[in-house]
Amino acid sequence: MVTSVLIAMGVVGGIGVIIGILLGIAGEKFAVSVDEREAKVRECLPGNNCGGCGFPGCDGLAAAIAKEEAPVNACPVGGENVAAAIGEIMGVSAGETVKMTAYVKCTGNCEKAKEQYEYVGPKDCKFAANNPGGGAKSCSYGCTGFGNCKKVCPFGAIEIVDGIAVVDADKCKACGKCVAECPKRLIELIPADNSYKVGCSSKDKGIDVKKVCQAGCIGCGLCARNCPNDAITVENNIAHINQDKCVKCGACKDKCPVKVIYN
């Protein structure tokens, strides 16, 4: 009996040794070489895994940078310091990094925007947007104010103030999660440095806009006609500022009759 047990133990032990040897050989044969730069780049990244760079988390971005498939300044959260550190690892210049921030193209708060009915339902922007008129607010393009954007922001940069979402540019890292979450596409990423923007998204005619909101763009075009750099276009009754052309002169803000352009 004892002899049988010893033999069985010997056989099992021998099999274990053989399997260990085979696994060791297979590990060396099929080992995937890892670029040392990838690990160093990953150490520089902040680890928020926000996806704002367009890659699946910081690991994905580190791999892409190491393969030179993404620029060294691709991380919106890290900013200039992270870009410079990664550029040193990759042996390239990080270039100029423009700080971006999200902004909400709606200033129709509870005081300025009328309501067409009392909304009863889940406090969820996507749910509300599927209701008649896009929600209780008379302007169907306006912010519903239920804060889906706030819920997905990993940096606490968004608050709901008087019925509309407001972005704290100092906290915003331009990860883009709020942009993707807003069902009405009210949020854009723009340069944070004193950019002028239009606080409205309504495509209705001016006369209809004024019926429902005191803070709506009426599509008059005065801003576009007075812009010295052709940075403003008016399409579908709404003004839009091309941030690449804007020289921040403020002429559009001064000429806007409804004061819906601000910085």
What is the per-residue pLDDT across 179-201, written as a single tens digit (0 to 9) for each?
Answer: 999 999 999 999 988 779 999 99
Q: Where in the chain is the domain with CATH 1.10.15.40?
A: 37-90
Q: Is 246 helix (H, G, I), strand (E, B) or coil?
A: coil
Q: Where in the chain is the domain with CATH 3.30.70.20?
A: 99-192, 194-263
Query: Among residues of the chain, what percentage have pLDDT more than 70?
Result: 89
pLDDT of residue 14: 64
135 to each of 128, 139, 143, 145, 238, how far by Cα in Å?
Answer: 5, 9, 9, 10, 21
Q: Which two tokens stand for residue 74?
A: 């691709």
Which CATH fold topology does 37-90 show? 3-methyladenine DNA Glycosylase II; Chain A, domain 3 (1.10.15)
| CATH number of the 194-263 domain | 3.30.70.20
- Confidence band of 151 (pLDDT split at 50, 70, 90): very high
pTM of the model: 0.75
CATH class label, 99-192: alpha beta
Cα–Cα dist 103/161, whole Å: 14
Q: Which amino acid is at 191?
A: P
| Beta bridge mates, 113 | 213
Helices 36-44 and 57-66 sit at what angle, rounded to 10 degrees? Answer: 130
64 to each of 98, 231, 241, how far by Cα in Å?
Answer: 21, 34, 32
pLDDT of residue 232: 96
pLDDT of residue 20: 67
Place of tokens 């019925």: 163
What kind and span of H or E run contains 39? helix 36-44
- Confidence band of 30 (pLDDT split at 50, 70, 90): low
